[in-house]
Amino acid sequence: MVQAARQLIRERGYNATAFSDVLELSGAPRGSVYFHFPGGKTQLAMEAAEAHAHEQVTIIDRAADQADSAAQLAGFYVDLSREGMVDSDYGRGCGVAPLVTEGAAQESADVGETTRRAFSEMTDRLAFHFVAFGVDRAAARELAHAVIAGVQGAMVTSRALHSPAPYDAVRTVLASQAVSVSPKTSGRKSS
């Protein structure tokens, strides 16, 4: 049910996702909803946001394993989001952002904390890897925030334009910024 909710929130948003839709997509019996999610739709959305953040951290780790530099990592992460958007025919967004933009995070302190934690986990993970590539901690954090914000903005504008062009622009700018804050030698620092 969590994965079905996550998918629907990414495609439709939080407010347009109903339990009946989650049940239909997941194939779960109706009686199991309030057994597993006594906090209702709010709890289900929070768990979906947490699952989304966990998946993004895993994607960041995989991209970092393939990258040779902070610029390459930033580019890989943008590319993966771009690929997902194009593959979904511009129908898939973020699993966390709708909780913020549609007011759920403002209506519930728990949802607000969940969304802050989700975006922080993604940002922290990127910053960790940027530091491993030799970027100064402060610059790594700033670059990580820019990558997350850039991908979020590209998701919205790419869906609106039905074009990958926003991703391409974000990738170019972020890669340039990553190069400017990176040491002259590439690769990971030795521990």
* Domain CATH for 122: 1.10.357.10
Q: Is pLDDT at 28 greater than 80 in this prediction?
A: yes
Q: In this structure, is residue 134 part of a structural domain?
A: yes
**Would you state the pLDDT for residue 180?**
96
Label residue 38 by pLDDT band (50, 70, 90). confident
Q: How many domains does the chain have?
A: 1
Q: In this structure, is residue 101 part of a structural domain?
A: yes
Q: In this structure, is residue 24 part of a structural domain?
A: no
Label residue 36 by pLDDT band (50, 70, 90). confident
Residue 14 and residue 111 in contact, taking contact as beta carbons nearer than 8 Å? no
Q: Is pLDDT at 186 greater than 70 in this prediction?
A: no
Q: Is pLDDT at 190 greater than 60 in this prediction?
A: no
Q: Is pLDDT at 191 greater than 70 in this prediction?
A: no
**Would you state the pLDDT for residue 29?**
85
Residue 115 and residue 99 in contact, taking contact as beta carbons nearer than 8 Å? yes
Please give the residue range of the domain that contains residue 162: 48-181
Quote the CA–CA distance of 147 and 171 in Å, as a whole number: 9
Q: What angle do CA 84, 119, 15 make, to 5 degrees?
A: 70
129-140: per-residue pLDDT in tens? 999 999 999 999
Q: In this structure, is residue 9 part of a structural domain?
A: no
